[in-house]
Amino acid sequence: MKSTVLVCGGGNGGHIITGLASSRGIAVRVLSLYNHEANRWQEITSENDMEIVVQAPGSSTRYIRARPDFVTKDPEIAVPGADIIIVTVPAYCHETYLKAIVPHLTEGVIIVGLPSQMGFEFQCFDIFREKFWHCIIVSAESLPWACRINDFGLRATILGTKSSLACSIINPTNKPTNEILSSIQGLIGDSPTLYLLSSYMALNLMAKSYVHPPIMFARWKDYDGVPLKEKPLFYQGIDQFGADLLTQMSDEILQTARVIEETKPNADMKKVTALLENFFKFYEGQIKNKTNLLTAFRSNRAYDGLVHPMKSVNAGFVPDFGHRFMIEDVPFGMCVFRGIAEIVGVPTPAMDEVILWYQKVVGEEYLLDGRLKGKDVIKTRAPQRYGLYTLEELFGLQK
């Protein structure tokens, strides 16, 4: 039976998955809640195929042409009849899309966070309510590709494809998990190879959304407000303080995983590994000096030329604290890590230092008296926001 796929979002990842799945004879529809974006893409797709350019080292460039069935801003039109719903928008947009689709969800539908980012499952649980127990929630650790839109609605490029991608499944239904994973693999093709983790909690702790905020903190914690003449290097500009802070935060997450595994022996946390180990694996062949985390960051060719997010002013450049490195990675990343660590009783002094600085910069309050109980926790995806305060409650989602 032919699947019907709904892609939520019109960004880089949305373009790629729409093109790839459509090219495989799958019925694909797109939901964009931005009126101008939906209308523009529908107008384009009514007259033109879209082209996906696939680049890969050592291989010739491939060109894939396809088009979605339709693009709409109306969830009442987009959702009914969809077997698989791919949510591929930034984490701070997830709530809007999940609330838009929930009235139209049917039993057994597969919801895929691509990527899910931390706390995706908590948010689905909160928004879907009773329907949560009749849906299948699939979380992917990241986008499968490095990609970009070249011409909206018409052309997008895959710059690189990961070799493998970890996923977790919350499956209250009786559908075999191998069938669920195979159905998603069929949308993206042979690469990356999707593999299943035994627990969604492991996938949450594998997230790397704690990398950007401490680099921002290390560079700007003592900033005096004077504009800079040039944009400083981001990853390759990291100093020893920043590298040490990242290492400490990695250790805090590892300790959290170990405590969970000791408390819940069936919760396999072996894939939760140190940042440096993951760094070597992900950037194999691109790091010149593997002595430590500092030298690895500074000598990684993949980071050549990448600078801090900055805003232009008359006198030069000032840091952009409204960039996704901050507004996504703290409330939808670090606060989730911090919330899980708090539940299992693991101290997080390094993480707390960065979160407290971020609170001051943006004028919000997450940590209060050493706990995640500030007035703005409701703006995060920490488990505490959703009334989840124990490991039993967290693992109770994975029945």
pLDDT by residue (tens digit) across 214-261?
Answer: 999 999 999 999 999 999 999 999 999 999 999 999 999 999 999 999
At 348 the pLDDT is 98
Q: How confident is the model at residue 361 (pLDDT cuts 50, 70, 90)?
A: very high
Token output for 350: 């390094």
Positions marked active-site: 212
pTM, two decimal places: 0.92
Choose the final residue of a domain: 131, 163, 196.
196
Q: What is the mean pLDDT of the chain?
A: 94
Assess if residue 201 is contained within a domain: no
What's the CATH code of the domain at 215?
1.10.1040.10
Token output for 194: 């999707």
**Interatomic CA distance for residues 265 and 252, integer angstroms:** 20
At 258 the pLDDT is 96
Q: Are residues 182 and 256 in the same domain?
A: no
Q: What mean pLDDT is predicted for residues 64-71? A: 96
Q: Are residues 364 and 254 in the same domain?
A: yes
Position 333 pLDDT exceeds 90: yes
Q: Are residues 238 and 360 in the same domain?
A: yes
Q: Indicate the residue type of 141.
A: E
227 class by beta-carbon count within 10 Å (0-12 exposed, 13-18 middle, 19+ buried): middle
Choose the final residue of a domain: 196, 225, 250.
196
Q: Are residues 126 and 243 in the same domain?
A: no
Least confident of 184-188, 225-229, 279-283: 279-283
Q: Indicate the residue type of 12.
A: N
- CA 223 from chain center: how many Å? 29
At 59 the pLDDT is 78
Position 399 pLDDT exceeds 80: no
**Ramachandran area for residue 248 (φ above 0: left; ψ -120 to 50: alpha; else beta):** alpha
What's the CATH code of the domain at 184?
3.40.50.720
The maximal CA–CA distance of the chain, rounded, in angstroms, is 62
Q: What is the DSSP letter of 266?
A: T
Assess if residue 202 is contained within a domain: no
The percentage of the chain sitting over the pLDDT mark of 70, rounded to a whole number, equals: 99
Range of the domain at 280: 207-395
Choose the final residue of a domain: 162, 196, 230.
196
Position 312 pLDDT exceeds 90: yes
At 220 the pLDDT is 98
Assess if residue 372 is contained within a domain: yes
Q: What mean pLDDT is predicted for residues 190-207? A: 92
Q: What mean pLDDT is predicted for residues 160-186? A: 91
Q: What mean pLDDT is predicted for residues 32-39? A: 93
Q: Is the distance from CB of 246 to CB of 386 less than 8 angstroms?
A: no
**Interatomic CA distance for residues 223 and 380, integer angstroms:** 26
Q: Are residues 282 and 157 in the same domain?
A: no
Q: How many residues does the chain have?
A: 399
Q: How confident is the model at residue 173 (pLDDT cuts 50, 70, 90)?
A: confident
Q: Shortest CA distance to 172 belongs to which of 109, 260, 88, 83?
A: 109
Position 92 pLDDT exceeds 80: yes
- Which strand (E) or helix (H) includes residue 161? strand 155-161
Position 280 pLDDT exceeds 70: yes
Q: How many domains does the chain have?
A: 2
DSSP assignment of 10-40 equals -SHHHHHHHHHHHHTT-EEEEE-SSHHHHHH
Position 1 pLDDT exceeds 80: no
Q: Are residues 288 and 315 in the same domain?
A: yes
Going through 246-347 in order, the beta strands assigned E by DSSP cover 310-313, 316-319
- Report helix, strand or coil for 139: strand
Assess if residue 60 is contained within a domain: yes
**Interatomic CA distance for residues 297 and 290, integer angstroms:** 9
Residues 6+ apart with CB under 8 A from 191: 144, 161, 162, 163
Q: Indicate the residue type of 220.
A: W
Assess if residue 65 is contained within a domain: yes
pLDDT tens digits, 105-142: 999 999 999 999 999 999 999 999 999 999 999 999 99
At 279 the pLDDT is 84
Q: Are residues 251 and 357 in the same domain?
A: yes
At 47 the pLDDT is 93
Q: Are residues 178 and 215 in the same domain?
A: no
**Interatomic CA distance for residues 74 and 104, integer angstroms:** 11
Q: How confident is the model at residue 286 (pLDDT cuts 50, 70, 90)?
A: confident
Position 272 pLDDT exceeds 80: yes
Q: How confident is the model at residue 284 (pLDDT cuts 50, 70, 90)?
A: confident
**Interatomic CA distance for residues 99 and 172, integer angstroms:** 20
The percentage of the chain sitting over the pLDDT mark of 90, rounded to a whole number, equals: 86
CA dihedral 192, 193, 199, 202 (to 10 degrees): -50
Q: Are residues 159 and 258 in the same domain?
A: no
Q: Shortest CA distance to 88 belongs to which of 193, 178, 159, 187?
A: 187
